[in-house]
Structure 1
Amino acid sequence: MTNHAVAVLIISPKGIPLVRDPKKPAPIFWKLPGGRSIKNETPEKTAIREIKEETGLMLKSEDIWIAYSEERDDHNFFLIQAIAISLEGLKSTGNDGEEVKLFLPNDLKNLSDFFHPHKEVLEEIKFF
């Protein structure tokens, strides 16, 4: 199946960037940046493109890896993990108006408006 979605966990010394889209219907949740593939993109290329669009960060393929994958009804889901030593280029607003904010790893577990499916995946990989 070539149709897939990615969520990207970017770990940096300053925190983990999450995004939320105020244009979405309520409730509005903080989510890991990511999205759906286009054409024949690999999960890694989808992650790099979505991160640039949503956060402004430029990741390199050698800085990312697939940490989790799951077959779903209409697509494959991938959690991509990334290490970012620098957050140079991080925007406060994504290309489509997403709000971008940094969170400390310990804060994610108790963040009441963190998108539940992303929290479940982080629990699955024993992130917290």
Structure 2
Amino acid sequence: MIHRFTLLAAALVALTWVAALPPANAAERLPYDAAALAAAQKAGKSILVHVSAPWCATCKAQKPILDKLAADPAFKDMVMFELDFDTGGEALKALNTRVQSTLIAYKGEKESGRTVGDTSSGGIEALLKSTL
């Protein structure tokens, strides 16, 4: 009886862990790191930097749109970086960003677009498509 319970518990833990993994065909989501951004740019990747703040209502409205697009197979090779506006400091200056809810798109080292405060799924999708 204990053996069955242990196997069942282990299976549930494994299933929970696997379910928490992002889909294999989803965009890579990372906390912002200047070196990782530079490496992705040098590799010619499609990149999005989302400058957000936990208290920002606009950023909260952007998040489900970005989550949905990140799961879209069209953007499976994209790298998405999250940059916290409150702690961004020098990174914000380097990216020439002055406000939260900023989305910056790159195709490799070239900036392909930028938007501030956009919460329309069509507008955000168009920005992401500019990186393909």
TM exceeding 0.5: no
Which of the two has greater helix per residue?
Answer: 2
TM-score when normalising by structure 2: 0.28
Q: Bigger radius of gyration, 1 or 2?
A: 2
Normalised to the residue count of structure 1, the TM-score between the two structures is 0.29
